[in-house]
């Protein structure tokens, strides 16, 4: 199993990372959220959000939910390394 996320969503300094975990009941998704900031010359991540970060946090989490929902409905949301190319599926369905 890979330790890499299956998808990332970033708006400004707020980021959601989506993980796929294999379980006995199929793939389950978890989401980690963070805020990127610069500490001197180094980039760092915090799980603390200020008042002005909350609208972006809300939107990033909503987009993560939508991505998981769509991938699950399409039978996707696979673990990394099992990527699915939707454009190839669309091309096949037009034949």
Q: Which residue range forms the structural domain that includes residue 25?
A: 7-94
Please tell me the predicted confidence (pLDDT) of residue 84.
46
Assess if residue 81 is contained within a domain.
yes
Assess if residue 20 is contained within a domain.
yes
pLDDT, tens only, 47-86: 999 999 999 999 999 999 999 999 998 876 565 444 444 4
pLDDT, tens only, 4-28: 999 999 999 999 999 999 999 889 9
Please give the Cα distance from 61 to 59 (Å, whole number).
5
Query: What pTM was estimated for this model as a whole?
Result: 0.75
In terms of phi and psi (left: phi > 0; alpha: psi -120 to 50; beta: otherwise), the region of 62 is alpha
Assess if residue 41 is contained within a domain.
yes
DSSP H helical ranges for the chain: 54-73, 86-94
Please give the Cα distance from 35 to 50 (Å, whole number).
10
Assess if residue 1 is contained within a domain.
no
Indicate the number of domains in the chain. 1
Count helices and strands in the chain by DSSP H and E runs: 2, 4
pLDDT, tens only, 32-43: 999 999 999 999
Assess if residue 79 is contained within a domain.
yes
Please give the Cα distance from 52 to 91 (Å, whole number).
43
């Amino acid at each position: 199993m890979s330790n890499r996320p299956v998808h990332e969503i970033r708006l400004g300094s707020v980021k959601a990372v989506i993980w796929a975990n294999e379980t006995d009941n199929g793939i389950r998704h978890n989401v980690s959220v963070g805020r990127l900031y610069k500490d001197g010359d180094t980039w760092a991540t915090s799980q603390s959000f200020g008042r002005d970060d909350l609208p972006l946090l809300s939107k990033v989490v909503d987009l993560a939910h939508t991505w998981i929902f769509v991938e699950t409905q399409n039978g996707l949301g696979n673990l990394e390394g099992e990527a699915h190319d939707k454009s190839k599926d669309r091309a096949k369905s037009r034949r």
